[in-house]
Amino acid sequence: MESITLSRNELKDIVHKTVIETVTEIFVDENKVLNLIEAIEDRNLGLLIQEGRKNDFIDKDEFMKFLDSKIGSR
């Protein structure tokens, strides 16, 4: 395998372009957008469970309130 050397700025530029390309691709395809939303919901549900829930279920209103608080804080 061949090795290459990149400066910090070159690596940052490559990563930046890759992220933009990936995000653009996600938002062009409606199914990918829906999958992204589901993944965010799943992540936030996991966070709620970690915050002291005793089972795998939570109140829908509480979940939506939590999501609203996370979205509003951006």
Residues 4-46: pLDDT tens digits?
A: 888 999 999 999 999 888 888 877 888 887 888 888 888 888 8
Q: Which residue shows structure tokens 């965010």?
A: 40
Can you give the pTM of this predicted structure?
Answer: 0.40
DSSP one-letter code for 2? -
User: At CB < 8 A and 24+ separation, what contacts does 33-41 make?
Assistant: 41/67
Which band of pLDDT confidence, cut at 50, 70 and 90, is reported for residue 69? confident
